[in-house]
Amino acid sequence: MKIYNTLTRTKQDFVPINEGKVGIYVCGPTVYDYIHIGNARPMIVFDTLRRYLLYKGYDVNYVSNFTDVDDKIIKRALEEGVPASEISERFIKEVKKDMKDLNVMEATTHPKATEEIPDMIDMIKVLIEKDHAYEVNGTVYFRTRSFPEYGKLSKKNIDDLEAGHRDEKHALKVDGADEKEDFLDFVLWKPKKEGEPSWPSPWGDGRPGWHLECSVMSKKYIGDIIDIHAGGEDLIFPHHENEIAQSEAANEVEFARYWMHNGFLRIDGEKMSKSLGNFFTIREIGEKYPLQIIRFFILSAHYRSPLNFSDQLVESAKASLERILTAVSKLEDALQSAKGRASTDDEKKIIEGLCDFEKKFDDAMEDDLNTADAISAVFELVKYTNSNITSDSSKELIKAGLDQIRKLCDVLGIITELKKEKLDSEIEALIEERQAARKAKNFARADEIRDQLAAEGIILEDTREGVKWKRA
Ligand code: AMP
Ligand code: ZN
């Protein structure tokens, strides 16, 4: 497989460190709120990479962290008057629910920063011993200039970086807030502030810096060298650059062999982000569309391209996905009614022809995970089965066609069994209709709606505040 490596800015043949095995580390979300569809892009894209490698027979160790201690979590905890751990635990649960609905597989390990503090302290000690870090009044900084290759991932020149920040550097010195030796130095350990979560350390109570988390968790759960390190392109600098500096300075070996970065999801040509306020959470979108349409939409573009989000584009993804699902459903029906006769020679040829589409699919995926072209191969396959397989075909042929579509969709994480489950918005519309029927004294219709929902496992409860519902 060829992978575009951000480190070399070229497509390179993927060669794992240990034959047959791949260690992947993907920077996970900071858990202070629901994730938005932009955050879902790396989850879906790198889950698809994992599925493809599994399909190719690799043993994949997939590690993705939860950043569960951070300024944004602490801020929200203070606003709600609850401990920070309550916020992070709440949103880890919510993120996991969204991941499940997007058919993103659970990671082999989902480490949480707060559970890895002793190893973080150990790495800081090593960095201090090796003169790559220093402590000032309870804060430990990484000495950036002690790592000569700093900037190799983001292609930034260390002197340019320093020059670009001369004014800020001056300001920091003036207000005395910063005691770093050099503006480029970044925090490994920060001292406790009142009301914030903290852990004891040789430098006083405090908490780790964000960049350090990933260096430590990837080392613990994958090893000193990772095959593939991935995340959104905004993480290239400074996050991944700092991870490289810390890990390579501490472990004295190359940190990650291949760096993969997804492009940004945009809305009206602008990047989607919480700070700009132009985002949709997965939860909101899930009210409107089954989330596998969102997964399909995201995979319909190459992961490195920017991808614009609009209702129109999602509608078109929905229509495309339906073409595949309808073909599967027709083949399923045909299989049910098919007679168990042997395949004719022509049918055998059609079965052989199915492999061509798998080859096209694989070629696309081998080329830096080109899911857009891989989806085109699935469409060609669907066209082929639609025109060559009918309910009169042999069972063997129908099954081969069905299996081939399912196999490729499975690599993309697309579920081909049609989900019959109702959307929240559909349930609420039916409840409203039931209320209207009751008002009009049409109790037969009201009961009918209640029974229909009950048959689908949705329980209604009439309360003083109105009708409440839950899934059984
Ligand atoms: P955060 O919680 O902000 O650290 O983001 C978690 C992951 O989502 C990171 O890999 C980010 O690069 C990625 N990400 C955030 N916003 C977007 C976006 N609009 N499009 C694509 N990826 C994004
Ligand atoms: Zn990271």
Say whether both 383 and 465 belong to one domain: no
Say whether both 95 and 221 belong to one domain: yes
Decide: 197 in ligand 1 pocket, CB within 6 A: no
Say whether both 176 and 104 belong to one domain: yes
Angle at 6 between CA 5 and CA 10, to 5 degrees: 50
DSSP state of 193: -
435 Cα–ligand 1 center, Å = 42
d(CA 52, CA 411): 6
pLDDT in the model for residue 421: 66
Q: Is 410 in contact with 51 (CB distance < 8 Å)?
A: yes
The ranges of the chain with pLDDT < 50 are 172, 174-176
Whether pTM exceeds 0.75: yes
Q: Is 107 in contact with 62 (CB distance < 8 Å)?
A: yes
Closest CA to ligand 1's atom 12: 232
400 Cα–ligand 2 center, Å = 42
Closest CA to ligand 1's atom 1: 29
pLDDT in the model for residue 61: 98
Q: Is residue 278 part of a domain?
A: no
pLDDT in the model for residue 424: 81
Decide: 278 in ligand 1 pocket, CB within 6 A: no
pLDDT in the model for residue 309: 95
Q: Is residue 307 part of a domain?
A: no
pLDDT in the model for residue 60: 98
105 Cα–ligand 2 center, Å = 19
Q: Is residue 256 part of a domain?
A: yes
Q: Is residue 66 part of a domain?
A: yes
Q: Is residue 73 part of a domain?
A: yes
pLDDT in the model for residue 457: 83
CATH assignment of the domain containing 400: 1.20.120.640
Q: Is residue 303 part of a domain?
A: no
Q: Is residue 379 part of a domain?
A: yes
pLDDT in the model for residue 175: 45
Say whether both 343 and 434 belong to one domain: no
Decide: 265 in ligand 1 pocket, CB within 6 A: yes
d(CA 359, CA 374): 10
pLDDT in the model for residue 275: 83
Q: 48-79 b/e with 16+ CB inside 10 Å = b?
A: bbbbbbbeeebebbbbbbbbbbbeebbebbee
Say whether both 430 and 403 belong to one domain: no
Test site for ligand 1: of 39, 70, 213, most ligand atoms within 8 A of the Cβ:
39
Decide: 272 in ligand 1 pocket, CB within 6 A: yes
d(CA 238, CA 165): 14
d(CA 404, CA 395): 14
User: Residue 50 to residues 25, 352, 369: CA-CA distances in angstroms?
Assistant: 11, 28, 11
Decide: 364 in ligand 1 pocket, CB within 6 A: no
Say whether both 370 and 459 belong to one domain: no
Decide: 237 in ligand 1 pocket, CB within 6 A: no
d(CA 390, CA 400): 13
Q: Is 133 in contact with 142 (CB distance < 8 Å)?
A: yes
Say whether both 11 and 60 belong to one domain: yes
CATH assignment of the domain containing 88: 3.40.50.620
d(CA 389, CA 425): 37
Q: Is residue 305 part of a domain?
A: no
155 Cα–ligand 1 center, Å = 21
pLDDT tens, position by position, 150-188: 999 999 999 888 877 766 555 545 444 568 999 999 999
pLDDT in the model for residue 366: 98
Q: Which of residues 412, 442, 462 is at a domain's end? A: 412
Say whether both 125 and 211 belong to one domain: yes
d(CA 6, CA 294): 26
pLDDT in the model for residue 308: 96
Burial of 376: CB neighbours in 10 Å, binned 0-12, 13-18, 19+: middle
Q: Which of residues 226, 247, 262 is at a domain's end? A: 262
Q: Which of residues 388, 412, 436 is at a domain's end? A: 412
In this structure, which ligand is nearest to the CA of 33? Answer: 1
Closest CA to ligand 1's atom 14: 39
pLDDT tens, position by position, 414-452: 999 765 567 788 888 999 999 999 999 999 999 999 988
Say whether both 199 and 340 belong to one domain: no
Say whether both 254 and 378 belong to one domain: no
Say whether both 339 and 448 belong to one domain: no
How many domains is the chain partitioned into structurally?
Answer: 3
- Domain with 434, as residue range(s), is 425-471
Say whether both 29 and 157 belong to one domain: yes
38 Cα–ligand 1 center, Å = 6
